[in-house]
Chains A and B, each alone.
Chain A
């Protein structure tokens, strides 16, 4: 599981600089499409099978966004392409970006940098961090922040875990298997990608959701061993708050874990 490390400082600084250039001192003012237009970049929406967005930089710069995305996805895609525009001047004249590129949060690589840029532009640290000071966070807090900043749950969750003062982790699972997890600096447990989640013995609430069971929709204690697989974690509780939704390629569950002491 990746520690939620500081984003590429270059990407964060560039997003901050852009926000300053336009006086974006409140989340309601942050509109990536309007920012693009003010930078003399045209925006177009069209059918783009297999892509989320494109940056065309031949003479007049142009961002093309896949038609039919949800508003928060559209904002993120435009922010991502703006990231390429500001950070990667040597790209090919037409750069195609896929859904996979939009989920790349590794520490290096241009897609990761563009994602960091987009996250910082839409959810700037100076506005977002002061709202992450709750001691016992739940998914409700993440969803409320996602609404306030018009961001996706996942993008807001990743940013939340970076800034939350309580030790916590965000885990995304699909079809019963952990896909990725991000943890804050002081969260003690390690959750591996590819881990199968169980229902019944060694169960997690996320595993119960995949098994079709109804669970309580609030943070509940669970044995940390059931998330980590480490026997040394046995007897240590973490609080888990999980919610599910159906996507085109299966059932997904987002879980927020936090240390019991927090």
Chain B
């Protein structure tokens, strides 16, 4: 990676880059990035726009990697806090509610109803609901 790619993306930095003879990637995210920095896309040369786009893409990818690592770590921490008893009880509670047709647990059952499924199949579904609930709680709740 060239030096200019490692520097923070500031309006001043962008303006300096516009004068450089560099080759970037084609793309369509540039106007948005320029507007964020108070620059008029119509006045920016194509060469500078492609550089800026490449920088923006790199920043977004790094941000995705950070978010993904955070989520994975939070999931692992939250799962480690759940004891086997709590898990068993949670699955049993949700299995009962699915069997009772509770609208709080809607499942696309394909061609079978809950009463036509084996206990193991229902428990497998209930377990996924259980962890979805539990991990939501660990994340602070409310986000979908």
Contact = CB atoms under 8 A, between A and B. Distances in A.
B131 A94 contact: no
A37 B135 CA distance: 13
A42 to B, nearest CB: 5
Given A59-B132, A61-B132, A22 B64 contact: yes
B99 interface: no
A24 B67 CA distance: 15
B128 A38 contact: no
Contacts of B58: 23
Interface string B30-61: 00000000000000000000000010111111
Contacts of B107: 92-94, 96
Interface string B97-124: 0000000111111100000000000001
Given A37-B72, A91-B108, A61 B144 contact: yes
Contacts, number: 112
Contacts of B28: 20
Contacts of B144: 57, 59-61
A213 interface: no
Which residue, of A33, A37, A48, A60, has the highest number of chain B Cβ atoms within 10 A?
A60
Interface string A194-231: 00000000000000000000000000000000000000
A114 interface: no
A60 B130 CA distance: 10
Interface residues of A, number: 36
Interface string A70-111: 000000000000000000000111111010000000000000
B8 interface: no
Contacts of A40: 67, 71, 139, 143
B129 A56 contact: yes
Interface string A10-42: 000000000011111100010001111110111
Contact of A23 (B60, B67, B133): B60
Contacts of B60: 20-23
SS class, residues of chain B in contact with chain A: helix
Given A40-B71, A94-B105, A34 B57 contact: no
A44 interface: yes
A20 B33 CA distance: 12
B105 A58 contact: yes
A41 B72 CA distance: 9
B120 to A, nearest CB: 9
B2 interface: no
Q: Considering the complex of A and B, which 3 residue pairs feature the smallest CB-CB distances, nearest first?
A: A23-B60, A60-B136, A23-B57
Given A33-B68, A56-B128, 11 more contacts: A40-B143, A42-B75, A42-B135, A44-B128, A47-B124, A57-B144, A58-B104, A60-B144, A62-B128, A92-B106, A94-B125
19 contacts: A25-B25, A29-B61, A34-B68, A38-B68, A40-B139, A44-B128, A47-B124, A56-B129, A58-B104, A58-B105, A59-B132, A59-B141, A60-B134, A60-B137, A60-B143, A61-B144, A92-B108, A93-B129, A94-B108
